[in-house]
Amino acid sequence: MKQVRGGVTAAKGFFAASTAAEIKYKDRKDMALLYSEVPCKAAGTFTSNIVKAAPVLWDRDIVAGGFAQAVVVNAGIANACTGREGMEFCRQTAEHAGAALHISADRVLVASTGVIGMPLPMERILKGIDAMVPALGEDADSGHEAALAIMTTDTHEKEVAVEVRIGGQTVTVGGMCKGSGMIHPNMCTMLSFVTTDVSISGELLQEALREDVKDTYNMISVDGDTSTNDTCLLLANGKAENVEITEKNEDYETFKRALNFVNETLAKEMAGDGEGATALFEVKVEGAETKEQARRLSRAVVTSNLTKAAIYGHDANWGRILCAMGYSGAEFDPEKVDLYFESSAGKLKIVENGQAADYSEEEAAKILSEPIVTATADLKMGKEQAVAWGCDLTFDYIKINADYRS
C-alpha cells in the first residue's frame, strides 16, 4: 500500500469542481461537484439521528438502488428540518445537475452541511452547478479545491489517497471529508466522500464500508452531538480493470486495508480539527475481552467533557478517564486497569491496578503538551482492542458555538 498525492480525484475516471455560490459565506468557495465518467457502484452509511436532513433521505434511496455517478455538495446550510420543501430542494438539485451532466437525476447524490432549519437558496445552487459542470477536472488540484469548498468550521481541508495492487492492477482509493462540530457519528461522519476505481460487487462494496465505519468514523467524537446530516459515500467506478471482486478473498482484504487507511486518516483529521481543538486525543483500550467492550470504553473517554478539558489544561487528571470508563456501560475491573499517557515527548505509566502509579506530574504535563496525545488503558482481561479519536475541549469551542450560528 502506497500513499499518493490527492483525494477524491486520485482514482481513475473521477472529476471534481468547486465554486463560490454565496450560499452563506461571501469570501470563499462553498459548493463542490464530484463526477465519474462512468456509472459507479455506490455504498453509503448515514446518520442514526431520527431527525434526518433531506439529503440523507435522498441519498439513502439512491444508495439502495446501488448506482450513482455524481455528488453535489454545499456548505453553509444543512437542508435539515426543512420538511417537504427540503426534499424538493434535493430533487431540483439532482435534476439540474443530471441534465447538465447528461445523466439521470436518480444517479445524482446530494449533501449539505451547515445551519439547520434554513431553506436552501435554490437559484444560487443551480447557478453554482452551471458554473461547476464545465470546470470539472481530474487533476489533484480540482480534488483539493473541492475539499476546501465543503468545509464549515474546519480549519483545514482533509483528503487522502492510497494505491494498492489488486489482481495485477493498480487500484486507488481516495477521499475527502469535513467536520468539525456536531461530530459524534453513530452510523458515519458528517460528510465524507470516498472514490475508488476498484471493480467490486455492490454488495461487497456496501459491506466493506459498513464494517469499516465501525472502527473509523464511528470512533470519533468532537462534542457528543450526532448530526442530522452524517453521510459517508463510497463510489467505485471499476476503471482499475481488476478482475471484479465478488467474494471475500485476498483482493477483498487488500481493498479493505486501503479503504481503512483512507477512512481512518480522514476520521483522525476530523477529530484533530474538532472545533477549537488544540490536540488530537487518541484513546486506546487494550486487553479487552471483546471488541465492542473496547470500543465502548474508548469512545466514552474521548466523549468526556471533563477529560477533554483536562487534556486542554495538560493535566494528567487520570481519575476523569477511569470515571468515564466506569459510566460507559461496559464491564471491567477498575482495580486491574493500567493507564499510560504517550506523545512524541515520551511515554509514562500513570495508573497501575486502578491506583496512581509513581509518576512525575511535570513529565506528564510535558507529554500532554504535544499536538497528538495518546491515552492507553490496559484492562488485562483478554486480547481485543479498539482506538477512538477525539480532541480537547477549549475556550475556542465555546467561542465558535456561542458566538455565531454555525
Active-site residue set: 189
Does 213 help bind its own copies (rule: CB under 8 A)? no
Q: Which stretch binds its own copies (CB under 8 A): 63-71, 226-234, 260-268, 362-370?
A: 226-234
Give how far Cα 200 sits from Cα of 35, 74, 234, 253, Å. 19, 29, 12, 12
Q: How many CA atoms lie within 13 A of 83 on its CB side?
A: 3
Figure out which of the listed residues 113, 180, 231, 303 binds its own copies, where binding follows CB under 8 A: 303
- State which residue, 69 or 228, has the beta carbon closest to its own copies: 228
Q: At what angle do helices 54-65 and 83-101 cross, to 10 degrees?
A: 50
Buried b (16+ CB within 10 A) or exposed e, 131-148: bbbeebebebebbbbbbb
Figure out which of the listed residues 100, 126, 309, 372 binds its own copies, where binding follows CB under 8 A: 309
Q: Single out the residue of 74, 63, 141, 150 nearest to residue 107, CA to CA.
A: 63
Q: Which stretch binds its own copies (CB under 8 A): 19-27, 33-41, 253-261, 300-308?
A: 300-308
**Contact in structure between 284 and 377 (CB atoms under 8 Å):** yes
Does 293 help bind its own copies (rule: CB under 8 A)? no
Round to whole Å and give the CA distance between 179 and 397.
Answer: 13
103 Cα distance to chain centroid: 28
Figure out which of the listed residues 126, 226, 289, 384 binds its own copies, where binding follows CB under 8 A: 226
Does 393 help bind its own copies (rule: CB under 8 A)? yes
Q: Single out the residue of 204, 160, 201, 209 nearest to residue 46, CA to CA.
A: 209
Nine cell digits for residue 207: 459491506
Minimum distance, C-beta of residue 403 to its own copies, in the bound complex (Å) = 6
Minimum distance, C-beta of residue 274 to its own copies, in the bound complex (Å) = 11
Residues 311-340 that bind its own copies (CB under 8 A): 312-313, 315, 317-320, 322-327, 331-332, 334-335
Minimum distance, C-beta of residue 385 to its own copies, in the bound complex (Å) = 19
Does 122 help bind its own copies (rule: CB under 8 A)? no
Residues 50-109 that bind its own copies (CB under 8 A): 50-52, 78, 80-83
- Residue identified by cell 452563506 is 24
Q: Single out the residue of 183, 228, 237, 181 nearest to residue 205, CA to CA.
A: 237
Give how far Cα 303 sits from Cα of 212, 313, 326, Å. 21, 16, 13
- Coil/strand/helix, residue 218: helix
- State which residue, 201 or 401, has the beta carbon closest to its own copies: 401
Site string for its own copies, 161-190 (x = CB under 8 A): --------------------xx-x-x----
Beta strands in 262-305 (DSSP E): 280-288
- State which residue, 35 or 318, has the beta carbon closest to its own copies: 318
Figure out which of the listed residues 65, 117, 346, 371 binds its own copies, where binding follows CB under 8 A: 117
Does 255 help bind its own copies (rule: CB under 8 A)? no
Total chain residues near its own copies (CB under 8 A): 63
Helix (H) or strand (E) holding 377: strand 372-378
Does 371 help bind its own copies (rule: CB under 8 A)? no
Residues 344-363 that bind its own copies (CB under 8 A): 351, 353-356
Q: Which residues form the interface with its own copies (CB under 8 A)?
A: 48-52, 78, 80-83, 115-118, 181-182, 184, 186, 223-228, 303-306, 309-310, 312-313, 315, 317-320, 322-327, 331-332, 334-335, 351, 353-356, 393-395, 397-399, 401-405
